[in-house]
């Protein structure tokens, strides 16, 4: 179009005519953009802190279980060849570390109190690499690499085998009696005390106690509840995978603090081999937790693992699938920020539209002259839109600089939350200090959107300008 350079020159120079007005409108845009970038930064920072807080303690970015385990963990939902599978998972590209775990429940008793615990058996080296559990030890020390030696199960002697058969027959008879008693209403006699002690003796022979109490880590809240300090012994009672009662004494080697209240109040962590032995699981385990080099690759890596023959029959899930509650929280966090940003933008756009509209009214005669000498209405629209876009672009880039600066500062120093500090929402802890994270999208979206808004906001004044009567140029009114 003829005169585009002219249109641009007029638009650009018009910005310099009322410097104060331009500066104020520009400041509104710049503040808007920088606030948006900062909000996105803090929101992204908070979300990634939340995600990190859940994925860096126990939850892996990707986890592998037997079908059904993740929704309802049960001892029998285990998989075999656990160590080999862990090694295969660890060798997968993009996987930083893999933890191999056995999970069960037990009743822990100290000299003072007892409490239900979630007993987790881990490979100490793998767990340290995956969840950095070793760094969370607040007193005592971390689990040693080698498990406690447990004596081999003894062969039963002939006498003992006979006793076993006798006890079995007795138990069968007792069961039959009980069924009869149900029919007749008579009370069934308790099995004799003697047979109970004998059963225990036989079990001890079949699964003997370890040579020394195996080491165990306790969550700090749990340790306080049990009144157990480092070096104290804790008695764990549970049922093994065959349903038989087992009872093993552990020694507290350390106390850990993860920051997650639920974990610190219920977790007892021991060597994988000790816990496998306790539950009679052999080489079976319940969980592979994978920590990835890049958390955003969880979906792809989960998909490729699921296709591996080594994981056939197992369920591979991402943390998003395992913790939809946290995903929802991150999403609502984002939605809240987006609403705030939209409000800021609308306010800034109205400010820009108002400024330009004022300028248009002030320059009506000039616009009339341009119309009179034959400038096309479209060229006038373009001229006004260019003026607005230049103002918006200049101010947006200032805002970009300021916003990025704020993000970098907040990334480095953070906003201390004071009294609110360090609370936990569904296991995802809001960190005591909010850190901003700078992302390309978080910085460029507000700039792009603001430019778009500025141009849209210019259309109204531009339309007013384009309709200016050319006759305004004549006379001295």
Partner 1 sequence: MTNGMAAPAVATSGLVKTYRQGSVEVRALDGIDLELGAGEFTVLAGPSGSGKTTLLNLIGALARPTSGRVLIAGQDLGTMSAAELARLRREQIGFVFQAYNLLPVLSALENAELVLELQGVTRGECRRRAEAMLRSVGLGQLFGRRPSELSGGQQQRVAVARAIAAARTLVLADEPTANLDSKSAESLLDVMVELNREHALTFLFSSHDPRVVARARRVIHLEDGRIVSDERARP
Is the Cβ–Cβ distance between 12 and 391 less than 8 Å?
Answer: no
Nearest-approach distance from CB 465 to partner 1, in angstroms: 14
Is the Cβ–Cβ distance between 238 and 106 less than 8 Å?
Answer: yes
- Our CB check for Mg ion shows the closer of 185 and 475 to be 475
Our finding on whether 342 is near partner 1 (CB under 8 A) is no
Binding positions for Mg ion, 216-235, rule CB under 5 A: none
Instruction: Please identify, among the stretches 68-76, 421-429, 453-461, 467-475, the one whose residues bind Mg ion according to the rule CB under 5 A.
Output: 467-475
Residue 375 partner contact from partner 1, Mg ion, none using kind-dependent CB cut-offs of 5 to 8 Å: partner 1
Binding positions for partner 1, 454-473, rule CB under 8 A: 469-471, 473
Instruction: Please identify, among the stretches 120-128, 235-243, 361-369, 391-399, the one whose residues bind partner 1 according to the rule CB under 8 A.
Output: 361-369
**Of the candidates 92, 94, 77, 76, the residue with the CA atom closest to the CA atom of residue 310:** 92
CA dihedral 95, 96, 102, 103 (to 10 degrees): -90
Our finding on whether 390 is near partner 1 (CB under 8 A) is no
Measure the CA–CA gap between 463 and 453, rounded to whole angstroms.
16
CB atoms within 10 A of CB 476: 4
Q: What is the largest CA-CA distance in the chain?
A: 129
Site string for Mg ion, 417-456 (x = CB under 5 A): ----------------------------------------
Our finding on whether 190 is near partner 1 (CB under 8 A) is no
Q: Residue 187 in 3-state DSSP?
A: coil
Residues 6 or more apart whose CB falls under 8 angstroms from that of 246 comprise 203, 207, 237, 238, 239, 240, 278, 279, 280
Nearest-approach distance from CB 452 to partner 1, in angstroms: 27
Our finding on whether 10 is near partner 1 (CB under 8 A) is yes
Owner of token pair 């700090």: 220
CA atoms within 13 A on the CB side of 216: 32
- Our CB check for partner 1 shows the closer of 370 and 438 to be 370
Is the Cβ–Cβ distance between 402 and 36 less than 8 Å?
Answer: no
Instruction: Please identify, among the stretches 110-118, 123-131, 240-248, 468-476, the one whose residues bind Mg ion according to the rule CB under 5 A.
Output: 468-476
CB atoms within 10 A of CB 269: 28
Our finding on whether 361 is near partner 1 (CB under 8 A) is no
Nearest-approach distance from CB 375 to partner 1, in angstroms: 6
Q: Which residues in this chain contact partner 1 in the complex, by CB under 8 A?
A: 2-3, 5-6, 9-10, 13-14, 16-17, 365-366, 369-377, 379, 469-471, 473-476
């Amino acid at each position: 179009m003829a005169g585009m350079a002219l249109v641009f020159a007029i638009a650009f120079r018009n910005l310099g005519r009322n410097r104060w007005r331009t500066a104020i409108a520009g400041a509104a845009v710049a503040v808007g953009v920088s606030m948006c970038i900062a909000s996105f930064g803090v929101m992204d920072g908070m979300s990634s802190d939340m995600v990190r807080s859940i994925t860096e303690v126990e939850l892996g970015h990707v986890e592998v279980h037997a079908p059904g385990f993740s929704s309802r963990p049960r001892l029998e939902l285990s998989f075999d060849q656990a160590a080999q599978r862990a090694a295969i998972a660890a060798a997968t590209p993009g996987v930083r570390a893999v933890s191999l775990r056995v999970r069960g429940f037990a009743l822990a008793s100290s000299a003072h109190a007892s409490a239900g615990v979630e007993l987790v058996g881990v490979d100490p080296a793998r767990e340290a690499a995956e969840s950095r559990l070793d760094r969370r030890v607040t007193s005592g020390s971390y689990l040693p690499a080698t498990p406690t030696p447990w004596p081999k199960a003894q062969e039963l002697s002939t006498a003992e085998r006979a006793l076993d058969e006798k006890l079995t027959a007795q138990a069968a008879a007792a069961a039959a009696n009980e069924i009869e008693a149900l029919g007749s209403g008579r009370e069934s006699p308790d099995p004799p005390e003697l047979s109970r002690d004998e059963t225990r003796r036989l079990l001890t022979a079949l699964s003997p106690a370890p040579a020394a109490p195996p080491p165990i880590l306790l969550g700090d809240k749990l340790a306080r509840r049990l009144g157990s300090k480092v070096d104290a012994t804790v008695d764990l009672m549970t049922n093994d995978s065959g349903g038989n009662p087992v009872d093993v004494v552990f020694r507290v080697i350390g106390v850990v603090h993860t920051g997650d209240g639920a974990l610190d109040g219920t977790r007892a962590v021991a060597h994988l081999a000790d816990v496998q032995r306790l539950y009679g699981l052999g080489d079976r385990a319940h969980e592979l937790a994978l920590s990835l080099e890049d958390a955003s690759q969880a979906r792809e890596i989960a998909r490729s693992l699921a296709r591996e023959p080594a994981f056939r029959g197992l369920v591979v899930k991402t943390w998003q699938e395992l913790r939809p509650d946290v995903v929802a929280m991150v999403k609502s966090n984002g939605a809240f920020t987006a609403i705030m940003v939209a409000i800021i933008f609308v306010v800034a756009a109205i400010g820009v539209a108002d400024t330009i509209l004022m300028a248009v009214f002030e320059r009506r005669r000039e616009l009339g002259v341009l119309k009179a000498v034959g400038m096309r209405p479209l060229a006038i629209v373009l001229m006004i839109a260019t003026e607005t876009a230049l103002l918006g672009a200049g101010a947006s880039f200032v805002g970009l600089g300021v916003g990025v600066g704020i993000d970098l500062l907040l990334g480095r120093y953070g906003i201390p939350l004071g009294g609110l500090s360090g609370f936990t929402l569904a296991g995802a802890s809001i960190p005591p200090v909010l850190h901003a994270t700078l992302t390309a999208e978080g910085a460029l979206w507000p700039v792009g959107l603001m430019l778009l808004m500025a141009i849209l906001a210019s259309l109204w004044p531009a339309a007013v300008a384009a309709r200016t009567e050319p006759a305004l140029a004549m006379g001295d009114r």
